[in-house]
Amino acid sequence: MRFEGTEIQEAVAATARKFAKERAEPAAAEADRTGRFPEELIRELGALGLLAVNVPAAHGGSEAGAIAYARSVMELARADCSLAVTMAVTNMVGETIARFGTEAQKSRCLPLLASGEWLAGSFGLSEPQAGSDPNSMATRAERRGDRYILNGSKQWITSGDRAGVIIVWARTDVSAGNKGITAFLVEGGTPGLVVGKHEEKMGLRSSSTVGLTFEDCEVPESAILGQLGHGLRVALAALDGGRIGIASQATGTIRAALDASVRYAQERQAFGQPIAGFQAVSFALADMQTSHDAARLLTLRAAALKEAGRPFGREAAMAKLFASEAAQVAVSKAVQIHGGYGYVNSFPVERYFRDARVQTIYEGTSEIQRLVIARHVLGG
């Protein structure tokens, strides 16, 4: 199975790497300090084709494939994980609309997302009491003629205050259980869509996270994404691809932590020599390198299966589980190697430590990933 090396993959990765080094990395510390949403960088990502990497060219996307997408997220996360999150979610929304949308929906939404004219797309699935459990979803969509009226709330919505379009899941038939959930496209600024407060997060501080409330929010029947009552299928397909995105973010985080630690270990002197010469430090670096390569390979395997049109849910869950858990260890080792300097913001590993923590939680917790993998192992 070929994971990388095609001309288009190399071109996309090189573009992402150059942008990450020249534009994202120099601005990352200040963006983290202020929590300012990086509008100008998002628009630049759009101009470079990085907001719709795996979206068909006919609708404004780069049509570069899932491997190119994974590699571009790795490069961006290595520089600024907050920016990588915004980019990844917008890509996920675009891919979902490209797969399930009508021609009218695709023609309307995808060029605006791809170009950055719409600063972001959002994914409105989680609720205050319903994260990994769709059975607990409380948001309703009541049909009135050729319209649907949405009422309810969503929580932890990335870019929810900036999104040009939000994919919102709501119950259209309470009696039908999971078969009564439908996905809708709700454009930003729609009357009845109320944006809540910005969450003050531990990390990913320049990635906007808000709650959304729907108060008699009216959308046309044509806003249904996919089929009526088939919303859970849309969500699960999107989450499988989203897990590749999170695994890519985590892999980029490991790389960033390793690079910073190698630089510091070679420069920092103790007992008359660079601390890289001490076995405890060199072994930690060896472990981080091994974790990075394993995470990268697992992630690219899942992306390659997706690109080939083959089932990839198990592999995406494995990549997300391993990479996100490995990132927790890697950033902790990086802080330890830096000693007291790792605990202050003079060095970037303190930011990596905070940014990485959520990677085992969003897009399905590590526990959910283990459930998914176990079902495959047991033939369920």
Rounded to whole angstroms, the Cα distance separating 27 from 167 reads 30
Rounded to whole angstroms, the Cα distance separating 334 from 361 reads 21
Does residue 309 share a domain with residue 216?
A: no
CB atoms within 10 A of CB 179: 15
Question: Which of the listed residues 118, 149, 184 is the one where a domain comes to its end?
Answer: 118
Does residue 242 share a domain with residue 369?
A: yes
**Which domain does 316 fall in, by range?**
233-377
Please indicate, yes or no, if residue 2 is contained in any of the structural domains.
no
Question: Which of the listed residues 97, 118, 139 is the one where a domain comes to its end?
Answer: 118
pLDDT (tens digit, 9 = 90+) per residue, 157-215?
999 999 999 999 999 999 998 899 999 999 999 999 999 999 999 999 999 999 999 99
Among residues 319, 347, 316, the alpha carbon closest in space to that of 334 is found at 347
Rounded to whole angstroms, the Cα distance separating 76 from 17 reads 7
Alpha-carbon dihedral of residues 187, 130, 357, 346, nearest 10 degrees?
50
Domain tally, the chain: 3
Rounded to whole angstroms, the Cα distance separating 378 from 375 reads 5
Residue 125 pLDDT: 94
CB atoms within 10 A of CB 8: 14
As a whole number, mean pLDDT of residues 109-116 equals 98
Rounded to whole angstroms, the Cα distance separating 330 from 325 reads 9
Please indicate, yes or no, if residue 187 is contained in any of the structural domains.
yes
Does residue 276 share a domain with residue 239?
A: yes
Buried-state track 183-216, b at ≥16 Cβ within 10 A, e below 16: bbbbbbebeebebbeeeebebbbbbbbbbbbbee
pLDDT over threshold 70, residue 380:
no
pLDDT (tens digit, 9 = 90+) per residue, 32-86?
999 999 999 999 999 999 999 999 999 999 999 999 999 999 999 999 999 999 9
Alpha-carbon dihedral of residues 47, 52, 54, 59, nearest 10 degrees?
-90
> Which entry of 39, 117, 363, 367 is annotated as an active-site residue?
363
Does residue 112 share a domain with residue 53?
A: yes
Does residue 210 share a domain with residue 76?
A: no
Please indicate, yes or no, if residue 311 is contained in any of the structural domains.
yes
Does residue 174 share a domain with residue 96?
A: no
Catalytic status, residue 363: yes
Q: 133 pLDDT band (50/70/90 cuts)?
A: confident
pLDDT (tens digit, 9 = 90+) per residue, 303-355?
999 999 999 999 999 999 999 999 999 999 999 999 999 999 999 999 999 99
Q: 1 pLDDT band (50/70/90 cuts)?
A: low
Structure-block tokens of residue 13: 């990765």
Among residues 63, 68, 71, the alpha carbon closest in space to that of 94 is found at 63
Share of the chain above pLDDT 90, in %: 94
* CATH for 214: 2.40.110.10
The residue type found at 57 is A
Place of tokens 């993959």: 9
Does residue 239 share a domain with residue 363?
A: yes
Q: 136 pLDDT band (50/70/90 cuts)?
A: confident
Question: Do 157 and 210 form a contact (C-beta atoms < 8 A)?
Answer: yes
Place of tokens 């972001």: 120
Among residues 140, 74, 123, 127, the alpha carbon closest in space to that of 299 is found at 74
Does residue 78 share a domain with residue 55?
A: yes
Does residue 373 share a domain with residue 237?
A: yes
Does residue 183 share a domain with residue 265?
A: no
Q: How high does pLDDT run on average in the chain? A: 96
Please indicate, yes or no, if residue 96 is contained in any of the structural domains.
yes
Backbone angles phi, psi at 206, to 5 degrees: -95, 5
Q: What is the pTM of this model?
A: 0.95
* CATH for 46: 1.10.540.10
Please indicate, yes or no, if residue 327 is contained in any of the structural domains.
yes
Please indicate, yes or no, if residue 171 is contained in any of the structural domains.
yes
Please indicate, yes or no, if residue 1 is contained in any of the structural domains.
no
As a whole number, mean pLDDT of residues 356-371 equals 95
Place of tokens 């994974």: 70
* CATH for 288: 1.20.140.10
What is the three-class DSSP state of 120? strand
Rounded to whole angstroms, the Cα distance separating 37 from 22 reads 18
Question: Which of the listed residues 84, 118, 152 is the one where a domain comes to its end?
Answer: 118
Does residue 292 share a domain with residue 173?
A: no
Alpha-carbon dihedral of residues 28, 34, 40, 44, nearest 10 degrees?
20
Rounded to whole angstroms, the Cα distance separating 294 from 322 reads 8
Helices (H) and strands (E) in the chain, counts: 11, 10
As a whole number, mean pLDDT of residues 218-241 equals 96
pLDDT over threshold 90, residue 295:
yes
Please indicate, yes or no, if residue 256 is contained in any of the structural domains.
yes
Residue 5 pLDDT: 72
Place of tokens 């790792």: 342
Structure-block tokens of residue 215: 């108060």
Bridge partner list, 217: 150
Does residue 225 share a domain with residue 237?
A: no
